[in-house]
A and B are shown apart, each in its own frame.
Chain A
Amino acid sequence: MWLRNIQISNFRNFSHFELEFSPTLNLFEGGNAQGKTNLLEAIYCLGRGTSFRTSTDQIMIKWNRDTLYLSGEGEIEGNFHKYEFSLSRDSGKIRRVNSHKVSIGNTSYWLWMVVFSARDIRIIQAGPGYRRNFLDELLFFTSPGFSHIRFSFNKVLSQRNALLGLAGEKGGIEDKNIEVWDSQFLELGSKIIYLRLMILRKLESIFCDIYRELTGLNRSCQFIYSCSFFKEKNNNYSIEDIKEIFSSQLKKIRSKELKYRVSLIGPHRDDFKIIVSGIDQRIFGSQGEQKIASIALRLAEVALVREIKKEQPIVLLDDVTSDLDPPRERFLLEALKGKGQIFLTTVDLSRFYPEFLSDSLIFHIENGKVFTHGKR
């Protein structure tokens, strides 16, 4: 899949312009704070209906304007579709594909994009939420129906937590009232955990190969799912196994949940560990090791999407190579070049080796304006 062109109006620091893209490499070059990442964000937003930088959509609208509008043609499996995204201050966001309204959660028309950014290191070093989101994002795209499962689970979870929140107040809550939510909580929760285990196993083997090539070291890599209610070594459970353990643990923990007034076990409390040579990268990895692991993880994501969907994802590189040493930078760029569409931001074109820049389309960005420099 690839994006042929984009039309942007009132997005961040951009007023209005149109760009034609290359199906291979597109380079956005310019100084700091000129709008390079904003352009990547607009591309992502058009393909997915959300931002990769913020959860507050409104701030994407240009200062002093009411409505932002994006449109462009994207290719999926050989067919071009017209994508439109609009967001205004008083009404919400609207996504259209071929002039038909499509919900943001409808994954069948997503242009799949993998964003490499300096923030990725958080997936390795920050809290479990970042790793859960990473896995779930991957499942949204590769596993049809997952978005509905995840959405419903979140609803059940917040209802269940609201109910548990009443514990201890007048009369407390009756068991039968919690049990009403438990059946859906178990059903949906077990499915999420099962799907995460499956995707994690696939991701692990790809990650191992990439990590070895990226570092040139023959190290063993392991992904371990840390579930809130079963032992780490049992990563081979079937969906029925998970449901059974989940159900019995939920009964055991009931009194504790009533005490803390919150759902204590389930996929919303899970995590996964990235182990290299027996060392948990989150806790013991150096900054450099964590950086490499985060890049390997994104590359594994690209490879996995390619394998499952038989499609090349669109790759967005947000100034990601600037703190890599030359051999690793080269490895990363070569791993991506020639396989699908790439959008790359950089402050300095001269840092790239000439063969990499061949057949690329270069855009210069300055103070919210974009100039096409043409092909190299």
Chain B
Amino acid sequence: MYSIRALDNLIARLTRLPGVGERTARRLAFHILKQPDEEAIHLADAIKTVKEKVKRCSICNNFCENDPCSICKDERRDRTTICVVEEPQDVLLFERIREYHGLYHVLGGSISPLKGVNPEDLAIEPLLNRLKNGNIKEVILATDPDTEGEATAIYISRLLHPLKIKVTRLAHGLPAGGDLEFADEITLTHALKGRREI
């Protein structure tokens, strides 16, 4: 059968990426091949550098170039609040809205016995240590609102209960600027339960 081994190898590597199927991988591989040499080398370098330079922050477990990360080091931030998220990309989402000025803690996933992820596999112990040392007043549990995220939030909230720290969970509800008509039944039920006085 006709094949170019180096190219096949690249395609096989690319298909391991999330959201990339065989077809997309082939297109990307041929695109890389047709590019000028330096373009492809820059890409390879970028991948290499990101693996070398980006580390986990020893405090919040987020990705960073210098440990501790810029958020953990920033004295202007509210150092009495920690927002607990599943993944580093969740931090980006919160930072983009510029409404939250506290600190973060990245768990690195959610509890899922099906995938073999137990509480010990998440950065929960480091979170507890942070709480014991610091003067944290509030922990915001911002794990995903699915069954695994909910279970993770319940697990952490039970551990934090004896520490007498305020523990909050992100509200579930209606999207802003949306029409009530387009809300699904579950969201609407949550929104009704979490209603507030105005």
Q: Is the interface of A mostly helix, strand, loop or mixed?
A: helix
Contact A145 B158 (CB under 8 A): no
A337 to B150, CA, bound (A): 49
Contact B151 A184 (CB under 8 A): yes
In the complex, what residues of B have CB within 8 A of residue A90's CB? 21
Within 8 A of B (CB), among A143-200: 144-145, 148, 152, 155-156, 158-160, 162-163, 165-166, 176-177, 179-181, 183-184
Within 8 A of A (CB), among B135-186: 146-148, 150-152, 154-155, 158, 184-186
B89, CB-defined interface residue at 8 Å:
no
Contact B158 A176 (CB under 8 A): yes
A159 and B158 contact, Cβ closer than 8 Å, known pairs A145-B186, A184-B147: no
Chain B nearest CB: distance from A168 CB in Å? Answer: 14
Our pick among B114, B150, B154, B184 for the contact of A162 (Cβ within 8 Å) is: B114
A145 to B188, CA, bound (A): 10
B80, CB-defined interface residue at 8 Å:
no
In the complex, what residues of A have CB within 8 A of residue B189's CB? 145
Our pick among A145, A152, A155, A176 for the contact of B155 (Cβ within 8 Å) is: A176
Nearest to A156 among chain B residues (CB) is B147
In the complex, what residues of B have CB within 8 A of residue A183's CB? 154
In the complex, what residues of A have CB within 8 A of residue B186's CB? 145, 148
In the complex, what residues of A have CB within 8 A of residue B114's CB? 158-159, 162
Contact A180 B155 (CB under 8 A): yes
Contact B185 A177 (CB under 8 A): no
Interface centre among A144, A166, A179, A181 (most CB of B within 10 A): A181
- The number of chain B residues with a CB under 8 A from chain A is 20
Q: How many A-B residue pairs have CB under 8 A?
A: 47
A159 and B154 contact, Cβ closer than 8 Å, known pairs A145-B185, A148-B185, A180-B111: no
Contact A163 B113 (CB under 8 A): yes
Contact B147 A177 (CB under 8 A): no
In the complex, what residues of B have CB within 8 A of residue A166's CB? 113
In the complex, what residues of B have CB within 8 A of residue A176's CB? 155, 158
Nearest to B119 among chain A residues (CB) is A177
In the complex, what residues of B have CB within 8 A of residue A184's CB? 147, 150-151, 154
Contact A159 B118 (CB under 8 A): no
Contact A155 B154 (CB under 8 A): no
In the complex, what residues of B have CB within 8 A of residue A163's CB? 113
A180 to B110, CA, bound (A): 12
In the complex, what residues of A have CB within 8 A of residue B154's CB? 179-180, 183-184
A180 to B124, CA, bound (A): 14
Interface centre among B119, B147, B150 (most CB of A within 10 A): B147
Interface centre among B111, B151, B152 (most CB of A within 10 A): B151
A159 and B185 contact, Cβ closer than 8 Å, known pairs A176-B158, A177-B119: no
B112, CB-defined interface residue at 8 Å:
yes
Nearest to A188 among chain B residues (CB) is B147
In the complex, what residues of A have CB within 8 A of residue B112's CB? 159
Chain A nearest CB: distance from B91 CB in Å? Answer: 24
A177 to B156, CA, bound (A): 11
A166 to B114, CA, bound (A): 11
Chain B nearest CB: distance from A308 CB in Å? Answer: 15
Chain B nearest CB: distance from A143 CB in Å? Answer: 9
A162 to B119, CA, bound (A): 14
Nearest to A162 among chain B residues (CB) is B113
Chain A nearest CB: distance from B161 CB in Å? Answer: 11
A159 and B155 contact, Cβ closer than 8 Å, known pairs A144-B185, A145-B185, A145-B186: no
Give me 19 A-to-B residue pairs in the complex whose CB atoms sit less than 8 angstroms apart, sorted by A's number.
Answer: A144-B185, A145-B186, A148-B185, A152-B147, A155-B146, A155-B148, A158-B114, A159-B112, A159-B147, A159-B151, A162-B113, A165-B113, A166-B113, A176-B158, A180-B158, A183-B154, A184-B147, A184-B151, A184-B154
* Chain A interface residues toward B at CB < 8 A: 90, 144-145, 148, 152, 155-156, 158-160, 162-163, 165-166, 176-177, 179-181, 183-184
Q: Given A145-B189, A159-B148, A162-B114, 18 other A-B contacts at CB below 8 A?
A: A90-B21, A145-B185, A145-B186, A148-B184, A155-B147, A156-B147, A158-B114, A159-B151, A162-B113, A163-B113, A176-B155, A177-B119, A179-B158, A180-B152, A180-B154, A183-B154, A184-B150, A184-B151
4 closest A-B pairs by beta carbon, nearest first, are: A162-B113, A163-B113, A145-B185, A144-B185
